[in-house]
Amino acid sequence: MDKMKHMIIDALNQIFKPEGIYERNDVQVRSREKLPLLRGTISGKEPPDLVQVQENGVKFLVDVKRGHKTGFYIDQRENRKKVRELSPSRVLNLYSYTGGFGVYACLGGGEVVNVDTSKEALELAKENFKLNGIPSHKHREVLAKAEDVMRERWNGDMIILDPPNLALKRKDREQGIKKFTSLNANAIHSLGQGLLFTFSCSGNIHTEDFKRAIFHAGQKVGRELILLELTGHPFDHPVRVYSPELEYLKGALLYVR
């Protein structure tokens, strides 16, 4: 892709005519491929500190310069939309970042508690709720570790578990699966009865690993799990059949009882 970068920039300018293009090629995985880490304006104007975007009619403020990766997880847009369609009444949004899933949950008529370890992300989440006209009594932001929050029983009907990459390298795979299993067991134990929407964003944790970890998590806690749907990233994140690690995002919508 680096060899095609100038061609892509030209195409973006010709087709979309943006005010500017900002590059975020600063993820550490590039170092393993001997590629430089790059961040900055590569065409047109420097973007403001916060850029407003719209997704499925929902508005978000995105920190494209300092946010994680591009500042917003576009690959989760269909899964966020699904949360709104499910219309849960009370949602625990773990690893909430800037509140994406939480905003959709509120727009579906629910209330949400957003949990993250980043104060800056939670502050931006508050702005995103405000941007969409969601009153403050409909959401609460908690600065804490997800593991600590899950020690208490969740008095609601849905938990969203969207942790960071738990297996960045192949050698981390087994430890990552173990951690993912533990997190899901904690979530299942915390949820009395209701929906668990759980995700893995690691290409090194394969689909079968993902499903097996959920099975073991339910078995460990002694709860019945009903798999309602398996999800992933949308069509604009294609996967070459010869590169299965590109199928990194895996989601499972489960009914816990």
Between vectors from CA 115 to CA 111 and to CA 121, what angle results, nearest 5°? Answer: 105
Catalytic residue list contains 106 = no
Catalytic residue among 83, 113, 201, 214: 201
Contact 202, 176 (CB under 8 A): yes
| Range list of H helices, 38-132 | 77-86, 100-107, 119-131
| Phi, psi angle pair for 73, to nearest 5° | -90, 85
Cα distance between residue 218 and residue 257, in whole Å: 10
Buried (b) or exposed (e) across 82-93, using 16+ Cβ within 10 A?
bbbebebeebbb
| Phi, psi angle pair for 27, to nearest 5° | -80, 145
Catalytic residues: 201
